[in-house]
């Protein structure tokens, strides 16, 4: 029942990841749905209260959960925690903790300090989640670079889609919001995503569903690069037909 609750949480709160997970095998879903439900709960935590202290407390709850998983403790009774503890090896708990810690940026209205700070945020959020999922699905150590490269590109694509909402919430999401700056970021993310794609052979077939969530990354980054103003307009998504066709191809080939 907890696994089903995770799937339902993802379906309601992160429909794109839900679709991507349903394109994976039933065995992979038992790993991906708990991880994505966890990620959804962590991503929501900074936004559910106007008081930063309450948001910090919500993130601390999940940091405590990660610590308990890392120590191999009996998981607390919670619809996401129990299946998460079954899906994640204790040695990966520190990566989840880093992911949670990075989300503290979402609580406050400070801009990113510099490019390195932005890069770490994307790697800790998108990269750690994808790498934990890939390891849980059996990825070997040599696959990490390819996984993280693709996840970084995919993470930037997702971040660019979120820019209008972040600005509505009085955040400063981009270091350089000018069209030239957006284009440069999209180009950098696209190059790294393609670098990871070129090394997909390092990722075992069983572990590749950890990357299905990034099935839209390449067309989104191309759209942002060709017309950076589409970022501010929230107009980066392809047509529904194109999105579904692309996901079908990914599910059939197992590759992005």
Tokens matching residue 114: 């510099």
Measured CA to CA, the distance from residue 255 to residue 253 in angstroms comes to: 5
- 123 to 95, 120, 167, 180: CA distances (angstroms): 11, 5, 22, 23
Tokens matching residue 172: 């400063």
Measured CA to CA, the distance from residue 249 to residue 215 in angstroms comes to: 10
- Quick one: average pLDDT of 171-185? 97
pLDDT band for position 195 (50/70/90)? very high
- Quick one: average pLDDT of 90-106? 97
Question: 251, 21 in Cβ contact below 8 A?
Answer: no
pLDDT band for position 2 (50/70/90)? confident
pLDDT digits (tens, 9 = 90+) for 196-249: 999 999 999 999 999 999 999 999 999 999 999 999 999 999 999 999 999 999
DSSP 80-92: THHHHHHHS-GGG
Task: Identify the weakest region by mean pLDDT among 50-54, 61-65, 208-212.
Answer: 50-54
Angle between helices 2-13 and 15-22 (to 10 degrees): 130
Instruction: For the chain, give the percent of residues with pLDDT over 70.
Output: 100
């Amino acid at each position: 029942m907890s696994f089903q609750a995770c799937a339902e949480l993802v379906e309601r709160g992160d429909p794109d990841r839900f679709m991507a997970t349903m394109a994976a095998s039933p065995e992979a879903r038992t790993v991906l749905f708990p991880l994505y439900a966890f990620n959804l709960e962590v991503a929501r935590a900074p936004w559910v209260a106007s008081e930063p202290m309450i948001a910090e407390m919500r993130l601390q709850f999940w940091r405590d959960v990660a610590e308990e998983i890392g120590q191999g403790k009996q998981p607390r009774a919670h619809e996401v925690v129990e299946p998460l503890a079954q899906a994640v090896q204790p040695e990966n708990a520190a990566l989840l903790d880093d992911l949670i810690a990075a989300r503290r940026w979402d609580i406050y209205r400070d801009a990113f300090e510099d490019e390195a700070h932005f890069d770490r945020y994307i790697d800790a959020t998108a990269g750690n989640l994808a790498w934990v999922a890939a390891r849980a699905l059996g990825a070997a150590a040599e696959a990490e670079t390819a996984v993280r490269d693709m996840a970084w590109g995919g993470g930037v694509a997702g971040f660019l889609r979120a820019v209008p909402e972040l600005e509505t919430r009085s955040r400063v999401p981009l270091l350089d919001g000018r069209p030239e700056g957006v284009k440069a970021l999209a180009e950098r993310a696209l190059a790294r995503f393609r670098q990871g794609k070129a090394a997909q052979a390092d990722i075992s077939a069983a572990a590749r569903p950890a990357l299905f969530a990034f099935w839209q990354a390449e067309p989104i980054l191309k759209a942002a690069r060709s017309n950076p103003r589409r970022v501010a307009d929230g107009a980066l998504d392809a047509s529904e037909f194109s999105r579904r066709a692309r996901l079908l191809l990914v599910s059939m080939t197992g590759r992005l």
